[in-house]
Amino acid sequence: MGTEPLGLIAGSGRFPFLVAEEARRRGVPIMALGIPGVTDPALEAVAGGLTWFKLGQIDAPIRALKEKGVRKVVMAGKVQHVSLFGGVMPDWRAAKVLLGLKDKRTDTLLKAVVDEFAKDGLEFISSASYLEHLLAPEGPLTKRTLTKEDLADALLGWRAAKTVAGFDIGQTVVVQGGTIVAVEGMEGTDACVARASALARALGREPALVVVKVAKPKQDFRFDLPVVGLDSLVNFKAAGVKALALEAGSTLVFDRARFAKDADAASIAVAGYAPGGPTP
């Protein structure tokens, strides 16, 4: 990409910080766009600037990026799916996009936005750009490995997660003792795991959860890439998670070395698997 500026549409969490840090380390200037109430204002110092736009605006961000000579854009960070369905005042261009949607699934909406940017010569690239070194590898990430029972639960969860992800419902399934306890919806991974923990306790069982997180069967790497990080690990420990199965090459593991160390300290086995999932 040389010294051509990179557009960064920043959601919440560590994701946009890591992209900005790595891009600047490689000498790539950043044009960062933030969403009030979503993007951490501290990103301004890391990215060398931050321009704010409301959720639902398309035309103004496109013009701002073009004025800075941006041609490639990365979408990084979480925007809660529920926020896409209420309290949004679209500009004229966004309203036109919304009217043309065949459905209101997240992937459908995001792809339509990406296509709208493309009309002005702005190309969205993989969200993993600059962070390829943080993609989960195949094999164990921790010293502790999944037991035979964990693997059986992970395989069950993997099959369910791939099916659910194919309908753009969620990408995480939680299993315990051969039973699917929870499936991720709009609430996100951490809330799904917390719900599974509460359900197990409500049934009089101590949580010993196996969490499975996969990519969609036709994952568009430009948006909604599966991510886990240190915050999730803290929540997993509190929820009683004992194992985490990730799709290798398609899931970003933020602060990977620290993540593996903290997972071992929490007695959580973590491993990456090929798209077909664990073998029995």
Biggest CA–CA distance in the chain, Å, is 60
Whether 105 is in a domain gets the answer: yes
For residues 80 and 42, what is the distance between their CA atoms, to the nearest angstrom? 20
Report the run of H or E that residue 74 belongs to, with start and end.
Answer: strand 72-76
Predicted confidence band at 1 (pLDDT cuts at 50, 70, 90)? very low
pLDDT score of 2 more than 60: no
pLDDT score of 261 more than 60: yes
Question: Which residue shows structure tokens 């090929």?
Answer: 274
For residues 55 and 100, what is the distance between their CA atoms, to the nearest angstrom? 18
Of 185, 210, 225, 221, the closest CA to residue 271 belongs to 210
Q: Are 226 and 246 in contact (CB under 8 A)?
A: yes
Judgement on whether residues 23 and 82 belong to the same structural domain of the protein: yes
Judgement on whether residues 85 and 119 belong to the same structural domain of the protein: yes
Q: Are 180 and 212 in contact (CB under 8 A)?
A: no
Q: Which amino acid, residue 26?
A: R
Arithmetic mean of pLDDT, 261-266: 97
Q: Could you give the number of structural domains in the chain?
A: 2
Q: What is the CATH number of the domain that holds 60?
A: 3.40.50.20
Q: Are 153 and 243 in contact (CB under 8 A)?
A: yes
Judgement on whether residues 100 and 179 belong to the same structural domain of the protein: no
Question: Which residue shows structure tokens 């992800």?
Answer: 165
Judgement on whether residues 140 and 248 belong to the same structural domain of the protein: yes
pLDDT score of 81 more than 80: no
Domain that holds residue 22: 6-124
Whether 210 is in a domain gets the answer: yes
